[in-house]
Chain A
Amino acid sequence: MRQPDYRTPHIGIDSVEHQSRLLELWEGEGGLKGFLGTVDHKKIGIRYIVTALILLVFGGLEALIMRLQLAGPNGTLLNPEQYDQLFSTHGMTMIFLYALPILSGFSNYLWPLVLGGRDMAFPRLNAFSYWIYLFSAIFLYVGFLTGNGPNDGWFNYVPYASRDYNPGLNEDFYSLGMIFLGISVTAGAANFIVTAFRTRAPGMSLNRLPMIIWGTLTANAANLVVIPAVSLAFFLLWMDRQYGTHFFDTSGNGQPLLWQHLFWIFGHPWVYAIVLPAMSFVSDGLPVFCRRPLVGYPYVALSTVATMILGFGVWVHHMFATGLPGLGMSFFSAASFVIVLPSAVAVFAWLATIWLGRPVITTAFLYFSSMILMFVIGGVSGFMTAAVPTDWQLTDTYFVVAHIHYVLIGINVFPVLGAVYYWFPKMSGKLMDERLGRWNFWITFIGFNLAFLPMHLTGLFGMPRRVYTYADGMGWDTLNLITTIGSFVLAVGVLLFVINVLKSLKSGAPAGPNPWDAPGLEWSTPSPPPPYNFAVIPTVASRTPLWENRLGESGVVSSVDRGMLLSQGKESIGSSAVDAEPDMILHMPEDSVAPFLLAIGATVLFVGMLLKVWFVIGIGVVLIALGTLLWLWPRRDLREREPVHG
């Protein structure tokens, strides 16, 4: 029987019968098959968040061991090789396995809820990107736990990483693991882009998008085009190491600086990719606790995009000490200065929001607002190193280490912890303990600043980074001891956070749909939201759908309990890219194990490449081909094909 190609959706109101019908359509299977096959963005989002937080703890433990070694001069806890692997694995874990995946987790969970949709554009791709993330993290950690962790820093310069100087499997694990992880990031990026442009509730035009969409969309538009640079760099390195090519090796006319260019063409946009979404959490969350909309929304949105665009043109500031021509360096130096402007727009918008609002001091507010302070400190130290002469003085010292930690802990970890306090009630239906939250915040905040503020001085006093120990009498002893004490205080803060999450999950007070009286669409759903998110597709009339009655600005009001029912299958709404006019009814896929099988195939392939066993590589390729065919086979329930001979 031919299915209809066009339909006028029924408009109706939310009702119990309608909800039970939707639940039947949307609720996935239980059991192992349901576990491996789920495509629900909320489950996938939580998996991302939990996995990334576990990896944050791993990376933190690695840091604590290093800080014990460095607490005093002439430390003997670690030998140089162990120290090399620890600091490299710490960087790899925090920057690649924690910092982006945690943000993707929040965005995965929240995007359809803030956009008024029922799932991401490509739910199976979403599941796939999670499995690849998990398996690549395991792959990289198998390397570390078998003594084959990366040992050349997270940015892994040649020739240290070349086989002549690094004969073990360490760099092969790292190279292949990073290519593997890149697949996950790219798949996620594609999904975010199409979701943002094509699956918004009616009325959610570009000028009404929540900031989390701007931040994550911008970051992932960049990821889509810069991930290939780092994947290629690691692939070429692996070829140099295993197949005798000469990309980075001067003996065959190769160019070692090519590594640095490819790495930083990726690396600097990546720095923005792991902070812009976190900044957008603040832009969405902070105003809720200031009881007013974000000041300067269009400027903050545009500055997000502008930061990213400028961010493509600053990578050479990581290479000022490599002897590049002066004219080129001055260009990249200037671009690095200019990027201060859009960053400042965001800072002043947040400050104005607090100034003009009536702040309610919650733990989430403390995390969001303290981030502004640390962003300024990290921004200023970055601004200093944008000047070529200053950079020459400070490069490869602890000053740069202090800078990167202000940026990554200040602008990523703090907003993320704030985001947990803010959205945990939505995800779990429980409130977190505010009293424990204060202890958690203040200990984290004091520990962090105690550890890293003095580290600027350590660097100015000339202590080089990446040394496994140092002699006494250099003037670094006290500063290092303070940093070590601060890092343990910070760890206690994180421990309190974990305790608060577990305790609140078990015995937190019920949250209700909107415990913060927040304006976003996600707060119009029950906590936790049902599998279908919205019983009716909402219609959006402003940036703050749940605050319209009291703001009384627009004269029209969004509708959250009356709208398109879309219950003749697992349906959601597709919309036009700019104005979010409804333009198609989407048929969403059921649970599927194809993404899991495909990820297993990819794992087999990468293990085969690591071991250089063609038979295993062959099995991996066949599994991937079969998984892809199973996945893409045109299906009638997705309206991808006609009934045969019908």
Chain B
Amino acid sequence: MAEPQLSPDVIVAAPRDLQVGPVGRHGLGYWGVGTLIATEAALFSYLLFSYYYTGATAPVGGWVIEPHPALKLALPNTILLLLSSLVAWIGERGVLERKRAQALIGLGGALLMGIAFAIIQTFEWQAKPFKLGASSYSSLYFVTTGFHELHVFVGLLVLAAVFAWTALDYFSPRRNLTVSAGVLYWHFVDVIWLFVFFTYYLTPYMGFGT
């Protein structure tokens, strides 16, 4: 990149053919979403730390109120959320490859699947045999899954905006960082649920806190 100019010992960078603004995922915005995800991932790790620490130091026996958490709604809902990530990815590919129909179906499909997850989650809450204030366990359960639900809402707003902008034909195979950043955030919301699900629904079966 550097070539000597004028005086032989002064160097001046003279790069050629630099991209102007974000091209594809290459731009500052993608790093920005990366830092957002890092801080949010830290938040969830502290929530899960609170669960394991409180459970591990609770008086022996019966800390988890529901020793075998019902998986009837939670497991299919988990699969639905993970599939929505795949569908969102297909939508993103549609934008990258200038396949408009695929883009709209993918992004719109992920949006609908996310809405379904959020609604099913409220049924899941109603089906629980305890309320928020019953004990430290119930408080942790509702606050952790509640935090996740809030992140789902934010992710849905992001997906809705990205869907609308795609419908307005804003993006192209070059200018699409907004789509990739939005879909990356949605992947995060889905992956973090796996940790929440594992902690709250599966570890009691392994004997934690029961």
Contacts and interface: CB of A to CB of B under 8 A. Distances in A.
Interface of A: 3-9, 11, 121-122, 125, 186, 189-190, 193-194, 197-199, 201-203, 224-229, 231-232, 236, 239, 243-247, 249, 252-255, 257-258, 261-262, 265, 537, 539, 541, 555-559, 562-564, 574, 581-587, 625, 629, 632, 634, 638-642, 644-645
B123 interface: no
B58 A255 contact: yes
Given A5-B20, A254-B54, 10 more contacts: A225-B39, A236-B50, A239-B139, A245-B136, A249-B136, A254-B136, A559-B5, A562-B10, A632-B178, A640-B175
A243 B32 contact: no
29 contacts: A5-B23, A6-B18, A8-B15, A9-B18, A11-B5, A122-B32, A190-B39, A194-B32, A199-B28, A203-B11, A224-B38, A228-B43, A246-B135, A246-B136, A247-B54, A254-B139, A255-B57, A262-B49, A539-B11, A557-B11, A564-B13, A581-B1, A582-B18, A584-B22, A584-B23, A587-B20, A634-B165, A642-B172, A644-B170
B193 interface: no
Contacts of B10: 556-559, 562
A600 B31 CA distance: 26
Contact of A224 (B6, B17, B42, B132): B42
Contacts of B18: 6-9, 582-585
B206 interface: no
A243 B132 contact: yes
B79 interface: no
Contact of B143 (A202, A236, A632): A236
Interface of B: 1-2, 5-7, 9-23, 26-29, 31-32, 35-36, 38-40, 42-43, 46-47, 49-50, 53-54, 57-59, 63, 132-137, 139-140, 143, 157, 161, 165, 168-172, 174-175, 177-178
Contacts of A224: 35, 38-39, 42
A4 B124 CA distance: 51
Nearest to B133: A244
Given A228-B42, A583-B18, A640-B177, A194 B28 contact: yes
A471 to B, nearest CB: 39
Nearest to A563: B12
A262 B50 contact: yes
Given A203-B11, A239-B143, A253 B50 contact: no
Which label, helix, strand, loop or mixed, suits the secondary structure of the A interface? Answer: mixed
A255 B20 contact: no
B1 A202 contact: yes
Contacts of A582: 1, 13, 15, 18
Contact of A584 (B27, B50, B161): B27
A227 B29 CA distance: 22
Contacts of A5: 19-20, 23, 174
Contacts of B57: 255, 257
A193 B54 contact: no
A535 B149 CA distance: 48
B20 A6 contact: yes
Contacts of A226: 42
Contacts of A232: 43, 46-47, 50
A224 B43 CA distance: 10
A246 B139 contact: yes
B46 A640 contact: no
B35 A243 contact: no
Contacts of A557: 7, 9-11
Contacts of B136: 245-247, 249, 252-255
Contact of B19 (A6, A202, A228, A229): A6
Nearest to B50: A258
B20 A247 contact: no
Nearest to B134: A252
A13 to B, nearest CB: 10
A247 B139 contact: yes
Contacts of B58: 253, 255
A253 B59 contact: yes
Contact of A190 (B35, B134, B137): B35
A11 B39 contact: no
Contact of B175 (A121, A244, A639): A639
Nearest to B174: A5
Nearest to B65: A253
